[in-house]
Every structure is written in structure tokens, then in C-alpha cells.
Structure 1
Amino acid sequence: MQEIRSDVPDLDVPDLDVSDLDVSDLEEELGRPGPGLVTEAADWPGDVVVLGAGGKTGTGISSMARRALDAAGRDDVRVRAVSRWTDPRGRAALETLGVRTVAADLSDTAAVDALPDAAVVIHLVGAKFGTASAPEQAWMTNTVLPAFVARRYHDARVVALSTGNVYGMTAPVTGGSRESDAPRPVGDYAVTCRGREQVFTHAARERSTPVALIRLNYAVEPRYGVLADLARTLLAGHAVDLGAGAVNVVWQRYANEVVLRSVPHATAPEPFVLNLTGPETAGVRALATRLAHHLGVAAEFTGEEPATGLLADATLCHTLFGYPDRTLGQLLALQARWIAEGGELWDRPTKFERRDGRF
């Protein structure tokens, strides 16, 4: 993997159609299935349930699943999106696409038992922010709740979203942690996410449930993510914290598709494990410098760049599914244009600069 250095001149980035889209068009793009997914969806064994569909990735994954099935001519397969549904707009948009929504509190065992049957389960439920002050919530959501799901859907193919936080810090020159590396989680969030993995691993070994564990590092889209955090910091005239050193980021649409394309790769008795991120090891200083150039502002920095970072090697992912369809340069240009033109932003800072595991 090649580290992006701050002394490399900014490259010309071709115009990106999605840069001028409004929110509804952006969400259309984030739910767009590629031809590989459409081909695979034709062979999905039955109905799909997306758990945690009201989160930042859930609506895109739910709509992409429905659109892929429609393109594959699988009108017989239903997609159900399960959430507490605090966002009625997102719920209504999915219903319009033909996704059936279900309101449920997944911490309630009776509610989980009452969920509709499915042959494919996409598990997106997780707790991260606020876990430092309320660690019991992380333990309940990230470890206990998956046990309810694993029991209810022991006959389904399960794809469970995890995080690269389960790994320890590595030096950028190593290319990041690989799937075969031993987890070294730090803090309640990372530890409980590793617990979620172990719960689904238990299901794979004891009940022969086919499982895929997807360790995601920093998916980005214009409203949310590392690049949005950096752009907001720069426009506010604040210094960028160099505490993370370097990061991996990946286009959200690609991440949504990889989650769904992992369905046929789910295995038992050992789960299929996959790092999901972009191909670059990107220095935070370099990212901020390039964003500042696009935004027409000066970049200032605080802190020291550490020798290690939370980094992952996604070679296996790119071998199986190809490279992301948006390059890092395109994502930087898109982010700058989106925020400069007053595009919607979510108030959900990633806290990517934290190294102590407290979120």
C-alpha cells in the first residue's frame, strides 16, 4: 500500500456527477447495485432481513438489496428493513422502493422472536458513540443482542458488520492489519465488537450458521465520515488534530455493495472474515492539505503524527470485488464541493483521531 504524502502536488480530479446531486439523488447513488451484485442476487436463497436498517448505512444497503433483486428478476424475494425507525422520512423512502419496513426493538427477545423468517440476514446493529460514558449499552447492543439474532436466524446466511477497531495499531509501512492477524481490541467499543464477532462465530461452529464478518474502516460519503469531519474543521478555521496519523477510507456505495456481495461467501464452521476499506494508507496531514486546497483555505495542524495507526489491509476485498468505484482523489473533490455548496451534513463526528478506544 502506498502512503499519500503531503508533499505530493494535488492532482487534477475529473468532474464527478454525484458532486452536484441533492440528498435524494445522493441516496439513489448510494443504493445503486453494480452488475456483479445483480448476478449474485439472482441466486440468493430467499427473503432478506436487514437489521439496524435505520442507521447511516442501513437505508443504502436495504434499497440496494431491493434494486439488485428487481434487476435480477427476483420479485419472489422480499427485503425487510428492521429498525426502531426514528426517521420516518427514511422509512417512507424505503417503502416507496418496495422494501417492507418493520419496527422493532432488537434488545427485546420477544421482538426478535417475532421477526419475519429470512434466508439472508444483514446485521448492522451496533453501539459506538457514548460507550465511554455508558459502557453497559455497548455490551448489551454489541454482544447480547447478537446472541438473540443468532438464535432466531440460525438457519440463515448471516453477514455481520464489524470494525477494524478490533485490530491493534500498526505502522503505515506494514500496509495495515490482515484478516489473519490476531485481534487486539482496546476500549469497550472495540472489545464488545470483538464480542459480537465471537457470538456469531459460536453460531457458525455450534449451529452451522454460515457467517461473514465484515471489518469496516471508515466508510465516507459527503454527509458523514472522516473527510466531512476534516472539511468542517478546516472551514471553521480550527487546527486539524494529527493524532490518528494515517487512516483508511472507502466510498460508502462500494462498502454497501461489498456487504451484500459477501452473502455467498458466508461459511461455517469458521466464519468468512473480510477487511473492507480503500486501497490507500492516507496521511491525515495529506488529506487535510488537499481538502484545504479544494476549499481555498489554509490548513493548520496540532499534535504530533504517531508512528502507528488503526489501519487495515483490504487486499482480499479488492481481489474478490474489485477496487472502489470512486477514487480517493474523487472523494476529496466531492467532499469539498458538497460542503462548499451547503450540502446537508450529519452531526455525527467519527472521532477517528482517538487512539484510546473511548468514544
Structure 2
Amino acid sequence: MPDLIESEAQLDAMLAQPDDRLIDFMRQLEGDLIILGIAGKMGVSLGQLAVAAIEKAGVEKNVYGVARFSDADARGRLEAAGVRTIQCDLLDRTAVAKLPQSPNVLFMAGRKFGTGGEEPLTWAMNTLVPANVADHFRDSRIVAFSTGCVYPLARVDSQPDETTPPDPIGEYAQSCLGRERMFEYGSNRWGTPVCLYRLNYSIDLRYGVLHDIATKIWHGQPVDNSAEAFNVIWQGDANRQALLCLGHCSSPASILNVTGPETLETEAVARQFGELLEKPVQFTSTPGDGCYLSDSSQATKLFGSPSVTADQLIRWQAHWIKTGGRSLGKPTHFEISDGAY
């Protein structure tokens, strides 16, 4: 890994670089892949990574990418990489029924921000769409992206693992549990192998918790430290693990927490950014009673440690902000603990 990332082209190339394990896995995996909801923050790089791994494995597979594609640029980048794009509204059951069958499905579609005031749409996107998909792809294996927000708030010394019962706060998190239940229902009814992929938080420098904190410090704004701590994972590692999870689907559905092994304290990270950016650091509050954390030791056992450490991510992020790297303008709102997004 480089000491620093100097350009968006370099960043995108790194996100699409498969390792030997993923290449070997693609060589053994049977059949095509279809990625649903591919046009979001992670999906484009996931599609590019899948194509790159298949090419390096020397095998022939189609990678289909499905979304509404309101962002024409995302569609163009995917097609340039070799992804076969399909425009589809996944809320439309008839349209979903026309999608090509594929033995390998990665489900990324969902709704989070703007839930307040539009709760019915959030519930439709996060439960009705999964029901449509689980039905149509009942004979496939499905990796369904989810979130650590389905867990209760935790303290640093008691992070939820996959055996922790869900206890979602607020309608967004409740709808995410609903998404999981739809895929679990499909798995139980039709024997569909499923892996529930509970992610928090992915980092690609243009967005993410580290981007949020560093940006506030760079602009002289106080950091909200009501969330005492958080976990992060390099988006390249998160995408690699998502593809490898196709080999860990089961019926009943399996569950996997996906994040880095480090627990980062918000105040300590902010002060580190202050030093790297040579800016003063201010805080808006004191840590609250809990925050969203996940124990990812099971993923580490299966896939090994992430290729990029949290400290490396912090240094990359500081340099990215300092040199004017592009932002997606999509804050994570990681500090929110009442479920109101």
C-alpha cells in the first residue's frame, strides 16, 4: 500500500485491485454475478473489483449491475469496466421478475438518509424490495448488505457480535432489521443460501466517518463526540469480504459483522487529525451512553486482517483533505444515537 493517495484515479485503481485470495475464489466460483443497487457509494467499486478479479482468474463470467441509474456517470464507469448494466426499479415486482437469473447475488439496495418524514418510502425500500428480490432469486445464493445499526447501542468494552440479539433504534434501523427478516424468510421458505453482511463503517476517503471528522477540523468546526467510539474498514477490504461472503451463505441465513478490528475513540482520532492537519480541535459535547460498535473477530478468522489499518486510513484521510480531495458530500451521521436520520 502507498504511504499516501494523491489522486482520485489512484484511489479508484486501489479499490478495484483484487488480492490473490479473491482471484482464486473467483476461479472456483460457479456462474455469473448480479449486483443489485450497484450505483451507490460502494457499488461501483464493488463491480469494478469483481470484474478485475474475474479477469485475473482467467475465467469467463458476466457481472450484471442493476440500479435505477439516476447517475449516468456511475453507469458509464461500470460499463467501461466491463459490468453489464441493467436499469430497473427494484420496487417494481414485474421489473424484478425480468432480471436475469444468476447463481450469485449481492444485494446493496436500501434507503437511509432522509428517512425522517418519508418513513413509508424507507420501509418500502428496505423491506418490500428485499421481498421482491428474495422471491425472484430464491434459487441463488445471496449476500445481503445490512448494517451494525440493527444492534443495540454498545460500550467500548461490550461490542456486539453475531450472537447479540438485534435491538434497533428508530425507524431506519428497524426497517434494516425488516430487510434482514425478508431474506431470512426467503432462506427458510425456499432454502436459499443467504449471508447477512452487517457493515460499519466503510472508508474510501471521499466519504466516511474519518472524512466527516477531518472535514470539520479542517474547516474549524467543532467535532460532535457524543458517539464515544466507532469502527471503520477500508472500502477495498469491505468489498473483497462481500465477494468472499458468497462462499459463506447458508440456510438458515448466516450473519457476519464486517468492519476493522480496531475500536477508535472519537476524541483520540480528532486530536490525531488536529496534529496531521495542523488545526485546533474543538468538541461539541461529551460522550453519550452508547454508540454503534461491532465485534468483527469472526470475519477476521474467515478472511484475515484488513489490508489497511485504521492508522493508515487516518493518515490517508488527512492528506486527502489537506490536498483538496473530492468529497461526495454524504455525511455518515455516525454521531446519531436516537435513530433519527
Q: TM-score normalised to the size of structure 1?
A: 0.93
Q: Equivalent residue for 1:347?
A: 329
Q: Which residue of 1 aligns with 2:85?
A: 101
> SS at 1:273's partner residue?
strand
Distance 1:42 1:336 in 2: 37
Distance 2:334 2:208 in 1: 9
Counterpart CA distance in 2 for 1:317 and 1:126 is 23
Deviations 1:290-345 (A, max 9, x none): 01111010111121112422111000001110111111111011001011101100
Q: Is the 8 A contact 1:18 1:26 kept in 2?
A: no
> Residue 280 of structure 2 aligns with which residue?
298
Offset, 1:256: 0.5
| Mapped partners of 1:188, 1:348: distance in 2 | 20
Aligned mates of 1:68, 1:210 — CA distance in 2: 23
Tell me the secondary structure at the aligned position of residue 127 of structure 1. coil
Q: Aligned match of 2:116 in 125, 128, 132?
A: 132
- Are 1:148 and 2:132 counterparts? yes
Query: 1: CA distance between counterparts of 2:173 and 2:290?
Result: 17
Aligned residue type for 1:229: D
Count residues with an aligned counterpart. Answer: 341
Aligned pair 1:185/2:168, yes or no?
yes
Q: Is there any run of 5+ residues in structure 1 with no aligned partner, and where? A: 1-15
Equivalent pair of 2:230/2:266 in contact (CA under 8 Å):
yes
Q: Which residue in the other structure is 1:321 paired with?
A: 303
In the superposition, relative to structure 1, how do residues 18 and 66 fare at CA in structure 2: closer, same or farther (>3 Å)? farther
Q: Give aligned-pair identity as a percent.
A: 37
Question: What SS is found at the alignment partner of 2:264?
Answer: strand
2:210 corresponds to: 227
How far, CA to CA, are the matches of 2:128 and 2:72 in structure 1?
27
TM-score with structure 2 setting the length: 0.98
Q: In structure 2, how many angstroms separate the alpha carbons of the residues matched to 1:26 and 1:86? A: 23
C-alpha displacement of 1:354: 0.3
- Describe how 1:192-207 pairs up with structure 2 within 5 A: 192-207=175-190
Out of 60, 83, 88, the position equivalent to 2:72 is: 88
* Cα separation, 2, equivalents of 1:201 and 1:60: 27
Structure 2 matches for 1:19-34, cutoff 5 A?
19-34=4-19
Once the two structures are TM-superposed, the CA of residue 18 in structure 1 deviates from its matched residue by: 6.9
Q: CA deviation at 1:19?
A: 2.7
In the TM superposition, 1:28-43 aligns within 5 A as: 28-43=13-28
Shift of 1:21: 3.4
Q: SS of the residue aligned with 1:62?
A: helix
Answer whether contact 1:81 1:99 (CA < 8 A) is retained: yes
What is residue 96 of structure 2 aligned with on the other side? 112
C-alpha separation in 2, matches of 1:81 and 1:255? 18
Match of 1:123 among 101, 107, 112: 107
The residue aligned with 2:57 is 72
Q: Distance in 2 between matches of 1:213 and 1:249?
A: 18
Q: C-alpha root-mean-square deviation of aligned residues, in Å?
A: 1.1
Residues 5 and 11, structure 2, Cα contact 8 Å, conserved in 1: no
Take 1:184 and 1:46, find their aligned partners in 2: how far apart are those partners?
Answer: 37
Q: Which residue of 2 aligns with 1:9?
A: none
Aligned to 1:10: none
* Residue 238 (structure 1) shift: 1.1
